[in-house]
Amino acid sequence: MAALAGMVSLLGVSSAQAIEADGSTSLTQPANTLIMPYDATEGKASYMIVSNLAGESAAGPNILTLWEWTNSLGVLEESVLACLGLNSTIVQDAADRAPGSRGMVVVTAWETDGDCLEPVGLVDNAIVGTYTFADINEQFSYGGDAIGVGLGDSGAPMLPNGDVGSIDVQTFNPQTLDDSSVAILSVAQGESSLIVSNSTSITASLSFYNNAGEVSNFSDVSVRGATFASMKPGGGLISSELGVSTSGFLRMQFSEGAIGGGSGSFIYGVHGQSVGQFGGSSNFKYTILEPLT
């Protein structure tokens, strides 16, 4: 018992940083802001579904949703206001809003007036979303949950604010992938602290950890707006010259203060992949670290 107590004591004074909960982002609960990738280039199709589960205005059971479609460089393609009643759903075709482009759409929920025409103020815990991606030529598709961001104490959308340890992208064996689509979504606090596509470039170092935990390092990548790539060797992330031949994850490491930590910027993303008839999608994983004491 004395030895165990000593071990606990040693663990208690460890200098390792603990992982803290992310109180900003949700994939399942209603939010104020939704972030989704889209691809409406030739041979591709994307549909977005947004439902109002709990949002109401002082003037009645309606909210106004602001849809901002930006291309891969963070340039605004179209901005649309759409009224959405309580328990109602709206579907948007990316080809109607941003034909020939790919990027991200950010949907923000607003309280509105009695005619559901003018935004009055932000409303939290209101909307959820889902999106679909399809490569018509390759007959490959996947879907995912919209990334939801809630309001902070200031009344503005709140991106993760802690120190970000890393951002990781899981994958099957890159050598065996038939299809792979990676969307890296760089966002920032924009005008009036609303979430917008980040047009400023951020550089990340890349490392791949195979299923035995062995690491291979690759060239850095620069991301801004919505960056699209593939996890296949030579697809913009994993070098074809290094023999990655197992499943694992790609780790994106950013310089201190580039994202999170009060920078007003963050990186989300999704990887859709298939091997033969089997496929799926997964959101990027990340750790938020408590400050060292």
| pTM (predicted TM-score) | 0.91
Residue 3 lies in a domain: no
Domain count, the chain: 1
Residue 4 lies in a domain: no
Residue 13 lies in a domain: no
pLDDT at 21: 76
**Which residues lie below 8 Å from residue 1, measured CB to CB, with a gap of 6+?**
none
Residue 285 lies in a domain: yes
Confidence of residue 6 (pLDDT cuts 50, 70, 90): very low
Residue 9 lies in a domain: no
Average pLDDT over residues 62-83: 96
Print burial letters for 108-145: b (CB count within 10 Å at least 16), e (below 16): bbbbbeeebeebeebbbbbbbbbbbbbbeeeebbbbbb
pLDDT at 88: 98
Residue 68 lies in a domain: yes
26 is in which domain, residue-wise? 18-289
Integer distance in angstroms from the first to the last C-alpha of the chain?
Answer: 28
pLDDT at 220: 93
Residue 269 lies in a domain: yes
pLDDT at 8: 37
Q: What is the pLDDT of residues 216-271, one digit of tens each?
A: 999 899 999 999 999 999 999 998 776 789 999 999 999 888 999 889 999 999 99
